[in-house]
Chains A and B, each alone.
Chain A
Amino acid sequence: MSPRLWPLAATLSIFLIAYAVCVWQFPNMWSTRVLGNFLTDNAFLGIVAVGMTFVILSGGIDLSVGSVIAFTGVLLAILITRYNVHPLIAFTLALALAAAFGALMGAMIHYMNVPSFIVTLAGMFLARGAASVLTRDSIPINHEFYSTVTSLSYRLPGGGRLSVIGLIMVAVFVVGTILAHRTRFGSYVFALGGNATSANLLGVPAARTTILIYALSSFLAGLSGIVFSLYTSAGYPLAAVGVELDTIAAVVIGGTLLSGGSGFIIGTFVGVMIQGLIQTYIVFDGTLSSWWTKIVIGGLLFVFIVLQRLLVYASKRRWRKTPAIQIGNMPEVA
């Protein structure tokens, strides 16, 4: 097996083993009901994690996504509840705004040549602040469109429900996988993350790609905000605090190399599901507090990051042994 597949295989086996242990302890977890809720409850995290995977694949990081989710939710609530705008029009507006915001951050990162984390940190402050200036309270959304969408679902055998937002997440993952692994844009992203200098020399349009990557990430954060507002039927400026960290954790646990250039969108899906599994386990157990989620995720992060180091080390040794031209991913040691 190619070393590139190790993290993905590790993630998948950890998920399967953990799920098996959970089912062994609580047989009720083996049901389509739980699986359906996995998708619904983690839909917003999954959608935003796809965008974050692209950003991390390109060697960057996007800290603004949680704030963009909150801002989108507040914007939707204000447009729909206060100004009686139809939700679909409000969705379009919010998505356009989010994409433009991301494009602006991407442009700053590329043209001003500053680390992505500081630009997106400013973006995080800006979006969260803008949301808080629009309102400080939670605004409920009572539109019939919302109740229709949330009541729609596909019944699985065994009582599980595939909700609309769960399906949106699955669709985003499918489109993201195609975009990353089957299009020219996707290969540009991998090239930039593998080695920005070589990518430039090979004629990868760095400016356009960087701007598109961050626009995509913010667009998906906006979509995630829409899903979150459908999920909670409200807009609240302090919603989704810390989601950026959960997202980064999901991407890393999913086997994407943090130095960029190597990873799989589908791995992120498994990473999101592992986080969902931990939360579901805590709910089933009933005695554990929710902060165990954080400790377990921190531990998993550590394990996977060390695994990544071993992977880089192994691929370096292979590279030394075969000095011929090798089309692999040689992540730079920062």
Chain B
Amino acid sequence: MKWIKPQYIAFLIVLLLNFALFRGFFTISIQDGRLFGSLIDVFNRGAPVAILAVGMTAVIATKGVDLSVGAVMAVAGAVAASLIQSGQPLGIVILAALGIGLLCGLWNGFLVAVLDLQPIIATLILMVAGRGIAQLMTEGRIVTFNDPGLIYIGSGALLTIPMPVVIAGVLMVVATLIMRRTALGLFIESIGVNRSASTYAGLRSKTLLIGVYAFCGLCASIAGLIAAADIRGADANNAGLWLELDAILAVVIGGTSLLGGRFSIPLSVLGALIIQGMNTGILLSGFPSEFNLIVKAFVVIVILMVQSPIVGNILTFMRPTPAPTAVPAPGEKTS
């Protein structure tokens, strides 16, 4: 039973609630060569936040946070839209958009690792200025485009699966493999637990931190490309607005500790899907979409309650005292 995580149950409950609200929720059909249905929609709409959550997980695992992802999405979208409009080939456009995201991430990483700023503040700079930069690129307009290649990223399908879902899935699998099949994940966790101790143990903390923030910026630019391709335009004001908060929430739901040192990329992606499932459910039930915010607030509060040391103490206190012989073996998890 160890592999059953509370997140799986939560996702299932959210899906079943959706089903209770709308009987056709699980109906999936194939239209125009792609899967179609409410369930697919949850995955498709949840993909940008899931991609952000992959990068955010790595950042939060180092005891950091990246508030700038929404603004980086807007910048990447603006770059892609303006370049494709000026007639650049698709490959260059995508490379440029991803490159600018990487650059933003490197900047954040430089501030955090080299200048030793608190992450929340270091990334605040780009969060405030990024949207302004995006506006500068689009000259305050919504730059629209009609390039079929770029639109394919947002609304195309590969083997009937919507493209955003494919991208998010591939990113999740690759990132998880790199983190868990190499020692990279362990290094990141160790920085999150104690950065100076890791440095003394011989880890190149600065390089790793910069790399982690750069990866997060890269993920944000991928999400920005998808968001722009989805609406066939770059809206510097609204692209990725508040998504940094959704991404943080997804990571928290996924059980990654905000204090660093413990993370799971697949569970963060599941967290993003849970959030999207709740969004869909609230839309289906006919409540105003702003009702979402209240639900999210309560989800955060419940998770904080569950994670807080006080509740842990109470639970330990209420647990029947084990018989003297039942001493837990060393290394066995007691929680």
**Chain A residues in contact with chain B, CB under 8 A?**
61, 108, 111-115, 117-119, 121-126, 128-130, 132-133, 136, 237, 245, 248-249, 252, 258-259, 289, 291-295, 297-299, 301-302, 305-306, 309, 333-334
**15 more CB-based (< 8 A) A-B contacts, given A114-B258, A133-B291:** A114-B308, A118-B252, A121-B248, A122-B300, A125-B293, A126-B298, A128-B290, A129-B291, A132-B288, A248-B124, A289-B140, A298-B128, A298-B130, A302-B125, A305-B115
**A297 adjacent to B129 (CB under 8 Å):** yes
Q: Is the CB of A259 within 8 A of B118?
A: yes
Closest to B289 in A: A132
Interface centre among B65, B115, B245, B293 (most CB of A within 10 A): B293
B293 in complex: contacting residue of A112, A117, A128, A299, CB < 8 Å: A128
Contact with A along B264-297 (1 / 0, CB 8 A): 0000000000000000000000001011111111
Establish whether residues B291 and A298, one from each chain, have CB atoms under 8 Å apart when the complex forms. no
Cβ of B151 within 8 Å of any chain A Cβ, yes or no, is no
Task: Give the number of residue pairs across the A-B interface with Cβ within 8 Å.
Answer: 128
- The complex places the Cα of A115 from the Cα of B257 at a distance, in Å, of 11
Q: In whole angstroms, how far apart are the Cα atoms of A6 and B202 in the complex? A: 37
The verdict on B307 contacting chain A, using a C-beta distance below 8 Å, is yes
Q: A118-B300, A121-B248, A291-B132 are in contact. Are A333 and B116 (CB under 8 A)?
A: yes
Chain A residues closer than 8 Å to B293, beta-carbon distance: 125-126, 128-129, 132
The distance in angstroms between the C-alpha atoms of A334 and B236, with both chains bound, is 32
Interface centre among A132, A237, A292, A298 (most CB of B within 10 A): A298
- Type the 1/0 row for B92-136, where 1 means its CB is closer than 8 Å to any CB of A: 000000000000000000010001111011101111111111011
Point out the residue from A111, A136, A297 that lies within 8 Å of B290, measured CB to CB: A136
Expressed in whole angstroms, the Cα–Cα distance for A333 and B194 within the complex equals: 12
A286 to B179, CA, bound (A): 51
A132 with B291: in contact, given A118-B258, A245-B124, A289-B135 (CB under 8 Å)? Answer: yes
Judge if B309 is at the interface, Cβ distance under 8 Å: yes
Interface SS of chain B: helix, strand, loop or mixed? helix
**A-binding residues in B (CB < 8 A):** 65, 111, 115-118, 120-122, 124-133, 135-136, 140, 236, 245, 248-249, 252, 258-259, 288, 290-298, 300-301, 304-305, 307-310
Q: Which residues of A contact B310 (CB under 8 A)?
A: 111-113
B136 and A295 form a contact (CB under 8 A): yes
Q: Are B308 and A294 in contact (CB-based, < 8 A)? A: no
Please determine whether B304 and A122 come into contact, CB atoms closer than 8 angstroms: yes
Closest to B117 in A: A305
Cβ-closest chain B residue relative to A309: B115
- When C-beta atoms are compared, the residue in chain B nearest to A248 turns out to be B124
A277 CA / B185 CA spacing, docked (Å): 47
The distance from the CB of B288 to the nearest CB of chain A, in whole angstroms, is 6
Contact present for A295 and B129 (CB under 8 Å): yes
Q: Are B288 and A119 in contact (CB under 8 A)?
A: no
CB–CB B128/A297 < 8 A: yes
Interface contact A301-B124, CB-CB below 8 Å: yes
When the two chains form their complex, are residues A113 and B309 in contact, meaning their CB atoms are under 8 A apart? yes
Pick 30 A–B contacts, CB within 8 A, sort by A: A108-B301, A108-B304, A112-B308, A113-B309, A114-B304, A115-B258, A118-B258, A122-B296, A124-B245, A125-B297, A126-B294, A129-B290, A132-B288, A133-B288, A133-B290, A258-B121, A259-B118, A289-B135, A291-B131, A293-B132, A294-B129, A294-B132, A295-B132, A297-B128, A299-B129, A301-B124, A301-B125, A306-B115, A309-B117, A334-B118
**Cα separation A178 to B310 with both chains bound (whole Å):** 36
Q: Is the CB of B121 within 8 A of A237?
A: no
| Residues B292 and A291 in contact, CB atoms below 8 Å apart | no
Please tell me if the beta carbons of A298 and B290 are within 8 angstroms of each other in the complex.
no
A201 to B44, CA, bound (A): 52
Residues of B within 8 Å of A258, CB to CB, are 118, 121
Contacts of B122 in A (CB 8 A): 305
In angstroms, Cα B127 to Cα A121, docked, is: 16
CA distance A298 to B107 in the complex (A): 13
CA A61 to CA B65, docked complex, whole Å: 14
Please indicate the chain A residues that have their CB under 8 angstroms from the CB of B117 in the complex. 305, 309
Q: Once the chains are docked, how many angstroms separate the CA of A118 from the CA of B67? A: 12
Residue among B120, B128, B304, B309 having the largest count of chain A Cβ atoms under 10 Å: B128
Establish whether residues A61 and B120, one from each chain, have CB atoms under 8 Å apart when the complex forms. Answer: yes
Closest B residue by C-beta to A313: B116
Which of B129, B136, B300 interacts with A125 by CB under 8 Å?
Answer: B300
Chain A contacts of B305 at CB under 8 A?
A: 112
Bound CA span A277–B259, Å: 39
Task: Pick the contact of B288: A128, A136, A292, A299 (CB < 8 A).
Answer: A136
